[in-house]
């Protein structure tokens, strides 16, 4: 066979061996791509990012440092765990049910150069293993905090710090600190012994 025919042969083989969806490509606008992007179930709360100065205050009140593992339950674009890794040297895990948020958070972590210290998991926060956390951050809703409280008490080690933007816990678990950050409230608790 002449050398000039080899590229033609390679192209012909590729159409036989490579799965159709890789050859044709599934555009982001196609129904297949939309289905792949859809959350497994409707998120319990929509994505609204925590402002940077509030993120900073949340990490400060929890005294996050390089030995910490920060879990953000409903991590959105990943800003809390990325800030914890980038500014304080912590490790971080972000959990979000929405695959679009996980893609965004992963890209933001790469841009921030902290890929080796953070990971983002597409999962339901209510069924995820959070026992490794030394700090948990939340920006959910009062009803979700109430639903989450038994899981926090059961799975987190005594001494684990919990910080919530905007919303408290049920009356039975009073915050140790409550801060005002430019009109936003930050709550702080420690898992009791």
Distance (Å, whole) CA 147 – CA 62: 22
Task: For residue 99, state whether it binds ligand SAM (rule: CB under 6 A).
Answer: no
Rg (CA), the chain: 22
When binding is defined by CB under 6 A, the residue of 80, 102, 130, 135 that contacts ligand SAM is 80
Helices 79-88/52-61 angle, 10° precision: 60
* Strand 161-165, strand 184-190: pairing: antiparallel
When binding is defined by CB under 6 A, the residue of 21, 49, 110, 129 that contacts ligand SAM is 49
Cβ-closest position to ligand SAM: 74
The contacts of residue 4 (CB under 8 Å, 6+ apart) are none
What the block records as the tokens of 33 is 């791509």
When binding is defined by CB under 6 A, the residue of 43, 89, 99, 168 that contacts ligand SAM is 43
Cβ distance to ligand SAM smaller for residue 93 or 125 = 125
Cβ distance to ligand SAM smaller for residue 150 or 158 = 150
Cβ distance to ligand SAM smaller for residue 128 or 190 = 128
Distance (Å, whole) CA 33 – CA 30: 5
Task: Return residues touching ligand SAM (CB under 6 A).
Answer: 43-45, 47-50, 72, 74-76, 79-80, 95-98, 101, 124-126, 139, 165
């Amino acid at each position: 066979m002449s050398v000039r025919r080899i590229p033609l042969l390679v192209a012909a083989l590729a159409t036989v061996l490579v799965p159709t969806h890789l050859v044709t490509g599934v555009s982001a606008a196609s129904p297949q791509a939309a289905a792949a992007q859809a959350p497994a179930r409707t998120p319990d709360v929509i994505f609204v990012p925590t402002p940077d100065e509030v993120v900073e205050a949340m990490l400060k009140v929890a005294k996050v440092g390089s030995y910490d593992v920060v879990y953000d339950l409903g991590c959105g674009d990943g800003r809390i765990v990325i800030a914890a890794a980038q500014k304080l040297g912590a490790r971080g895990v972000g959990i979000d049910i929405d695959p679009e948020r996980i893609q965004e958070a992963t890209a933001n972590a790469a841009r921030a150069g902290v890929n080796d210290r953070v990971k983002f998991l597409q999962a339901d926060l209510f069924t995820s293993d959070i026992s490794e956390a030394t700090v948990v951050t939340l920006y959910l809703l009062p009803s979700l905090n109430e639903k989450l409280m038994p899981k926090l008490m059961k799975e987190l080690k005594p001494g684990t710090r919990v910080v919530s933007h905007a919303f408290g816990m049920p009356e039975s678990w009073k915050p140790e600190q409550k801060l005002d950050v430019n009109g936003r409230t930050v709550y702080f608790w420690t898992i009791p012994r």
